[in-house]
Structure 1
Amino acid sequence: MKRAAALMFVLLAGCGAAPHDDSLFPLAAGHRWAYELTTEWENNVVEHEPRVIETLGRERLESGEAWRRRSDSGVDYWLKSDAAGIYRVATKSELQEEPQPDKEPRFVLKAPVAVGTTWRASTTAYLLQRRQEFPREIRHGHPAVPMSYTIEALGEKLQTRAGAFENCVRVRGVAALRLFADPVVGWKDMPLVTTEWYCAGVGLVKLVREEPAESTFLTGGKLTMELVDWR
């Protein structure tokens, strides 16, 4: 689960001046977010894990200046913010010496921030696993599944352990991965669904990832990432 959570942060993770303090995804140096990740597996096992993200400031890459973030999972990532929106341009793990550029920008939030704005990005199966076959993780065979994102709502209110938040944007991502579920059902489109809430001046406050399997050959679950502290 820890590796799946780390991968999730890589995928979640601008030129010019830093965004204003009411930014939906603050990038300027000095911010810190502490989350609790709760994974509920279909076998009724529940796992908890902390995660901390920090902003380190603006740096120059080969593609230009970008804002650096660091996860305590061991991954750094670089983002830009401009008229197109907020998007990731590179990542680096502890095993890599240099940032690895994304082949194309990966949007966190695409402009305009309005209900109905859509974009696409690749995802993978973070929770779906085979019950008996090895390797159990489905993502090894399906590293890039296209997901469609849509801004579904503006001005939402949200309550988390870090407090109450207003003026939040809700984003929903939907994908399907066709897998052999079991001999009775056969091949089945397994849903991969992400719901994210970005709140003004704070950033990502909550994320829910749902990957139900409900089959004899596969197992899945639900991951909830909730903000518990920030500055």
Structure 2
Amino acid sequence: MGLRRAALCVACLASIAGCEQAGTSASLFPLDAGHRWTYRVITQAEDGTTERETLVMRTLGAESDPAIEGGSAWRRRSDSGVDYWLRSDSTGIYRVASKSDLDPAPKPDKPLRFVLRAPFVRGTQWRAGTVPYLLMRRNEFPREVRYTHPDVPMNFQIEAEDDVVDVPAGHFDRCLRVKGTATLRLYADPVRGWRDMPLSTTEWYCAGVGLVRVERTEPAERLAYLTGGTRTLELVSWQ
């Protein structure tokens, strides 16, 4: 959910009792080793520019690290240079640590960051931290708002249990649709002053595959000091 490209990257693990369950083909977020997802990421800024990238995620299996509390966790790695450690149990799927290539050791998530909260049914809600991936300051450095606001509370809710999604990798059904919403108060300009900037994420998780699509919106409404945009992540291939 650390990241420039895929936010959404959100990942998962299991306790001893949860490991076997998390590795089944019916999992909404597969954690066992050997899986690989390739995503197409399209970012459209409000200044009219469009950026296209490819993001690859891999599952590396369960492992232990002294920096991770509670024993082993499932490790996932992004080709953007970020590793995630996750677990799965009766409460849901959640991230316990992350590490970029610049970090000497995994950094524990406190509190734990849920990817999906159980039960996986319509109406289930939870809160997790996010960062503004797309909001930028026009005339300040660093321009990225995420450096000054690295942990924005976002409210998530499962909106549908049996949604249908079409992406470059194919047609998927039996998907959970999850909606996340947050607001971030920023100084917009001398005329409008401080504004509550909306952050919105919609994610689709499909049985046996995992995350297949993400839509992120962070509009800035042509404010004098801020610019925003949209980002779409779609599954191209997986194994």
Question: Which of the five TM-score ranges fits, normalised by the shorter chain?
Answer: over 0.9
Cα distance in 2 between the residues matched to 1:100 and 1:218: 31
**Once the 2 structures are TM-superposed, how far is the Cα of residue 98 of structure 1 from its aligned partner?**
2.2
Q: Secondary structure at the match of 1:177?
A: strand
1:228 aligns with 2:213: no
Cα distance in 1 between the residues matched to 2:102 and 2:147: 19
Q: Is the 8 A contact 2:3 2:82 kept in 1?
A: no
- Aligned residue identity for 1:94: D
1:123 corresponds to which residue?
A: 130
Cα distance in 2 between the residues matched to 1:207 and 1:39: 12
What is the identity percentage for the equivalent residue pairs of Structure 1 and Structure 2?
57
Cα distance in 1 between the residues matched to 2:136 and 2:3: 13
Unaligned stretches of 5+ residues in structure 2: none
2:158 corresponds to which residue?
A: 151
Q: Is the 8 A contact 2:181 2:198 kept in 1?
A: yes
Q: Is the 8 A contact 1:91 1:100 kept in 2?
A: yes
Q: Is the 8 A contact 2:186 2:197 kept in 1?
A: yes
1:88 aligns with 2:95: yes
How many residue pairs were aligned?
228
Q: Is the 8 A contact 1:9 1:71 kept in 2?
A: no
Q: Is the 8 A contact 2:86 2:95 kept in 1?
A: yes
Larger CA deviation: 25-34 vs 173-182:
173-182
2:15 corresponds to which residue?
A: 15
Cα distance in 2 between the residues matched to 1:134 and 1:77: 29
1:110–1:3 Cα change, 3 Å? closer
Q: CA RMSD in A?
A: 1.4
1:152-167 paired onto structure 2 within 5 Å: 152-167=159-174
Cα distance in 1 between the residues matched to 2:8 and 2:171: 23
1:10-49 paired onto structure 2 within 5 Å: 12-13=10-11, 14-16=14-16, 17-18=19-20, 19=22, 20-49=24-53
Q: Is the 8 A contact 1:4 1:127 kept in 2?
A: no
TM, length-normalised to structure 2: 0.92
1:201 corresponds to which residue?
A: 208
Unaligned stretches of 5+ residues in structure 1: none
TM, length-normalised to structure 1: 0.95
